[in-house]
A and B are shown apart, each in its own frame.
Chain A
Amino acid sequence: MRSSALSIEQSHSGAVCIVALRGRIDSTSAGDVMTRLSNLITSGERAILVDLGAVLYLTSAAFRVLLVATDEAERGSARLALCNVMGHVRELFEMGGLLDAFTIHGSREEALARLS
């Protein structure tokens, strides 16, 4: 059994689709995130907010997925942003030199105000 691997929770706030990730995004689970985000972009969501507040850690496989999804969203005239990038997780973004590669908002509320 995959112990505390990853869970993906999806909800809407107005026109924004929120994807809340919880747990670990690594080589075994990054594909699930890609599938979910691709499906949302393909289905015509215009604003996607990925909440990383409950993520324990992410690896380069996760960064790759987020980069590809951001690119896919842009090509589909949609916006993809991240929020709650804190603590250990933020340090991993810094190590990868990736803080500038994404649109990152502070809290979920702040992100929703910007995306709505």
Chain B
Amino acid sequence: MRASTVRIAEISIRSDMAELAKLRDSLDRLGTELGVPGKPLMQLQVALDEIASNVIKYGWPDGGNHKLCVRITGQPGRIEVEVIDDGPEFDPRLAPLPEAAPAGKRRPGGLGIHMVKQLVDRLEYERAGGRNRTIIIKRYTRRRVSDRRVSA
């Protein structure tokens, strides 16, 4: 019998958009292992892309080699994704709403975070030790497929 149903994936990526594929693949893998249905997994993928791409885009205006550390903790009914970076302080909870403007005239800087707030159950943030720690939590109801547990 499995000792624990908690799955943890820790991924460290360079501050480069192409690296986000690694996060996406890890989250996919963990979601599949846990039997997370398509919709909540998709919603979490979008939210993670928004949070991590925001850090890459705005985190280090002077460039340089930086890393993002991402820890995905999955357990039955709940996935938590923690993104840690050493960029300037940025609390996504305080990001302004995208202003209403005609198509093409929008500056949808806040659009991603606005979507994150609707896609996940919780968005948490803290600044500690010169680092941003952003956490998103998504709850889900497990897919009812061939349950691996065997009753005694």
- Tell me the A residues contacting B by CB distance below 8 Å: 2-3, 5, 24, 26-28, 56-61, 63-64, 67-68, 70-71, 74, 88, 92, 95-97, 101-102
Give the residue name and chain of the A residue nearest to B107 (CB). A64
Given contacts A67-B108, A95-B119, contact A61 B53 (CB under 8 A): yes
Tell me if B9 is interfacial: C-beta within 8 Å of chain A.
no
* 17 A/B residue pairs, CB under 8 Å, sorted by A: A26-B20, A26-B46, A27-B56, A28-B20, A56-B42, A57-B45, A59-B49, A59-B50, A61-B49, A64-B111, A67-B104, A70-B103, A71-B104, A71-B105, A88-B42, A96-B108, A97-B98
Given contacts A2-B21, A28-B20, A64-B111, 13 further A-B contacts (CB under 8 A): A5-B21, A26-B45, A27-B49, A57-B42, A57-B45, A58-B46, A60-B50, A63-B111, A71-B104, A88-B38, A95-B115, A95-B118, A96-B114
The reply to whether B111 and A60 contact each other, CB–CB distance below 8 Å, is yes
- Tell me the B residues contacting A by CB distance below 8 Å: 17-18, 20-21, 24-25, 28, 38-39, 42-43, 45-46, 49-50, 52-53, 56, 98, 100, 102-106, 108, 111-112, 114-115, 118-119
